[in-house]
Amino acid sequence: MLCINRRKFLAFLTLGPGLDLCGWGFGRQSYSYGREEKAFSDGAVLKQVVDRGLAWLASRQGSRGGWELPEGYPTALSSLAGMAFLCDGSTPLDGRYSQQVRSVADFLLTRVQKNGLIGVPSEDDRYTYGHGFAMLFLSQILGEEGDLSRRRRITEVLTRAVAFTGSSQTRYGGWGYVSEAEGGNFDEGSTTITQVQALRGCRMAGIDVPKSIIDRAVIYIHRCSIRSGAGGIQYNIYGGSDRPPISAAALASLYNAGEYDGDYVPKLSAYCKNKLGKPEDEGGTTGFWHYAHYYYSQVVYREGSKAWCEYRDRLYAKLLREVTPEGCWKQGYLGAHLTTSMNLTMLQLEKATLPIYQR
């Protein structure tokens, strides 16, 4: 009997005609292009760069399963590296990086605190980031976990993590670098977006997420909008200039929250296209280009059609030019490991292996 796990079943449903059953498990997914879409022209080079990048990441995984590096943020770094392996099609059960995926999960499960936080405050500066990315990673492997006791453990961890996120939300509906109690009700856009996407991943995995948490977060993002989104998103509700990276992340999170139209999304989408539609330009990203396009690529990919192909070709061309001979990226302020993990996620969106990124 042929057994198909959740991710492979989802991939099967998206294929339509032209299914190839010859590859990974029941069949590695061949991306199904729409009528106005076409494959990336340098596919062979793209594959080589992705393979080299994944191997580079794997070679730097620590003995405890995480990436504990001088730049700090071990929970966030490890979770995003794990997401890059998941995008390749690996799961805790199979795939060429299944061992790395299991080790990331092991590492994250050792960092769970009694209050539900996934992270170690003394090691994870601005621990809300790591908490959100860890929730996202664990939510994407929950349905792939074959060990029943381990699946129950991850379910329990995510349920408590959602509760921690809810209790850490500020009175305005956002999140800061630490919990609301520790941060004196401070909040800002980038950490808020991390929590929204993580909550969406948890809900898709079957974890109960109170709707009120998401609703308050969406209102917060709206309040951070300049001219209802036409002027982008500012740092937080107290003001500031528009920030293209946070604006792209906000747009992706609004999609994750189920908001695709209305008063804000069309205007914010137009703003992001104007600022980020030509990925070869910095577009006001001020050193956070990779962060900006990590989120904006998710938005454009979901929209699909010719617009995705045009943007993708320019995005991938830039990434392929900038990769180092050893397989990593060192541009920007985020550090090579975080930047490489984000870039590998962008470069593998068309594999459509993860529910959170699928159309």
What value does the mean pLDDT take over residues 65-94?
94
297's enclosing H/E stretch is: helix 289-303
Q: Give me the pLDDT at residue 33, please.
A: 58
pLDDT in tens, 114-139: 999 999 999 999 999 999 999 999 99
**Which token pair is 164?**
């921690």
Q: Give me the pLDDT at residue 190, please.
A: 94
Q: Specify if 120 maps to a domain.
A: yes
* pLDDT(108) > 90: yes
Q: Specify if 11 maps to a domain.
A: no
CB of 122 within 8 A of CB of 176?
no
Q: In this structure, what CATH number is given to the domain that contains residue 268?
A: 1.50.10.20
pLDDT in tens, 295-328: 999 999 999 889 999 999 999 999 999 999 999 9
Q: Specify if 9 maps to a domain.
A: no
Residues near 121 by beta carbon (within 8 Å), at least 6 away in sequence = 127, 178
Q: Give me the pLDDT at residue 80, please.
A: 97
Q: Specify if 228 maps to a domain.
A: yes
pLDDT in tens, 242-282: 999 999 999 999 999 989 888 899 999 999 999 999 999 88
Q: Specify if 5 maps to a domain.
A: no
Buried/exposed 82-110: b ≥16 CB within 10 Å, e otherwise: bbbbbbbbbbbbbbebbebbbbbbebbbe
Q: Give me the pLDDT at residue 32, please.
A: 54
Q: How many domains does the chain have?
A: 1
Q: How confident is the model at residue 11 (pLDDT cuts 50, 70, 90)?
A: very low
Counting residues of the chain whose pLDDT is more than 70, the rounded percentage is 90
Q: Specify if 17 maps to a domain.
A: no
> Which domain covers residue 205, as residue numbers?
33-352
Q: Specify if 337 maps to a domain.
A: yes
Q: Give me the pLDDT at residue 31, please.
A: 52
Q: Specify if 210 maps to a domain.
A: yes
* pLDDT(17) > 50: no
Q: How confident is the model at residue 34 (pLDDT cuts 50, 70, 90)?
A: low
Q: How confident is the model at residue 68 (pLDDT cuts 50, 70, 90)?
A: confident
330: Cα separation from own chain's centroid: 19
Q: Give me the pLDDT at residue 260, please.
A: 87
